[in-house]
Amino acid sequence: QQVVDLAAEPFHLDGHEISIGASAGISICKPGCGCTDVDQILREADLALYNVKAEGRGSYQYFKESMNVRLLERKGLESDLRRAIHEDEFRVFYQPQVDAASRKLVGVEALVRWEHPKRGLVGPAEFIDVAEETGFIREIGQFVLETACSDLASWNDIKLAVNLSPVQFRKQGITKIISDTLAATQFDPQRLELEITESVLLMEDAETDAILVSLKNMGISIAMDDFGTGYSSLSYLRKFPFDKLKIDRNFIADMGHDADSNAIVQAVIRLAKSLGMRLNAEGVETHLQADILHLEGCDELQGYFFGKPMPLADLKEWANKPREEKAISAC
């Protein structure tokens, strides 16, 4: 604990206050236990460290046997994912995004699903982390981009939002990969919106800026996803002209019964407006939330109230329904 505390103390560098943290995993070899496998002890300490990081970092843990069980599960998921890529088990679902005033469909967000042969439809929350750690997200993300562009190439009047993981972003030649995909699917770059999270900008360097600028120069829009969570450093809003901010759905969920969330939502709407960025509110589940957000000046709404993420065939049906039925069917 002392080591962790010491490492967490801020220090000064070039006139800036810098804070770094430390996490520690500990494995103890008891005297006389006869254990000679140094690699084993290191592996155990590493596992304990992995657990600290998974639980939020800046702390320490001792190795426990149960951590081995979790490692095995993770390894299982890893090989299952490898197989799934091979067997084409991923599917792309689409969630409608509507104009807050007219409630007309203005875009869709592509969201990946895993059609597991035994477990059925598995949501991304269960595998995105491991896919990012193993790098599989590059293949999965590319599959989502290709599929979504070709599925929606002929839907000329709406935008397509695709999530871009920081791991994909860091891949060499990412702009070329994206422009090749657009060309191959004959998808108009002006209709593509890439959603990135703050973690992409944490690698703040000249290369990150250059990639964002070249994507923008291709005509692609860039949206900041999950706005208000994470590190929430506002300085990047000044550096890069995002086309859209997507306020995190936790703030929307708490609207109405948490004054602080209301205040944050209002402030973010004003912030987006004064920076000339569009604002999308995610996770809209009720009529009331939709109305308040519209009155407050939010541009775009997305959430179960309008439609859950759905396969392409259902989206086509949804798009043809009259406006009133859309909201009712989602309740």
Please state, in angstroms and rounded to a whole number, the distance separating the CA atoms of residues 53 and 168: 22
Provide the strand spans (E) within the chain: 11-13, 16-18, 24-26, 60-62, 90-99, 105-116, 120-122, 159-163, 192-196, 221-227, 244-247, 278-281, 300-301
Of 44, 80, 151, 225, the residue at the interface with Ca ion (CB under 5 A) is 225
Query: CA end-to-end span of the chain, whole Å?
Result: 49
Which backbone phi and psi does 122 adopt, to 5 degrees?
Answer: -105, 130
Near ligand C2E by CB under 6 A, which window of 34-42, 98-106, 209-217, 278-286? Answer: 278-286
Q: How far apart are CA 145 and CA 268, in angstroms?
A: 29
How far is the C-alpha of 126 from the C-alpha of 181, rounded, in Å?
27
> Residues 309, 318, 326, 327: which binds ligand C2E (CB under 6 A)?
309
3-state secondary structure at position 26: strand
- The distance of closest approach from Cβ of residue 196 to ligand C2E in the complex, given in angstroms and rounded to an integer, is 9
Between 151 and 226, CB nearer to Ca ion: 226
Least Å from the CB of residue 305 to Ca ion: 16
What lies within 8 Å, CB to CB, of 298 at 6+ separation is 100, 269, 279, 280, 281
304 sits near ligand C2E (criterion: CB under 6 A): yes
Q: Which is nearer to ligand C2E, 129 or 209 (CB)?
A: 129
Residues paired with residue 16 on neighbouring β-strands, in sequence order: 13
CB of 61 to ligand C2E, least distance (A): 27
Binding residues for Ca ion, rule CB under 5 A, total: 4
Contact call for residues 97 and 76 (beta carbons, < 8 A): no
Degrees to nearest 5, angle at CA 285 with 283 and 289: 95
- Measured from the CB of residue 277, what is the shortest distance to ligand C2E in angstroms? 17
Q: Which of 123, 135, 241, 311 binds ligand C2E (CB under 6 A)?
A: 123
Q: Does 112 bind ligand C2E (CB under 6 A)?
A: yes
Residue 111 interface partner, choices Ca ion, ligand C2E, none, CB cut-off 5-8 Å depending on type:
ligand C2E
Contact positions with ligand C2E (CB under 6 A) in 205-224: none
- For residue 221, with 0-12 CB atoms within 10 Å meaning exposed, 13-18 middle and 19 or more buried, which class applies? buried
Least separation in angstroms between CB 171 and ligand C2E: 12
Binding mask 256-275 for ligand C2E (x = CB under 6 A): --------------------
Stretch that binds ligand C2E, among 23-31, 36-44, 183-191, 281-289 (CB under 6 A): 281-289
Binding mask 172-201 for Ca ion (x = CB under 5 A): -----------------------x------
Contacts of 1 (CB under 8 A, 6+ apart): 60
Tokens, residue 104: 């007309």
Contact map string, positions 164 to 183, toward ligand C2E, x by CB under 6 A: -x------------------
Q: Which residues bind ligand C2E (CB under 6 A)?
A: 95, 111-112, 123-125, 128, 137, 141, 144, 163, 165, 225-226, 249, 282-285, 303-304, 309
Q: Which residues bind Ca ion (CB under 5 A)?
A: 163, 195, 225-226
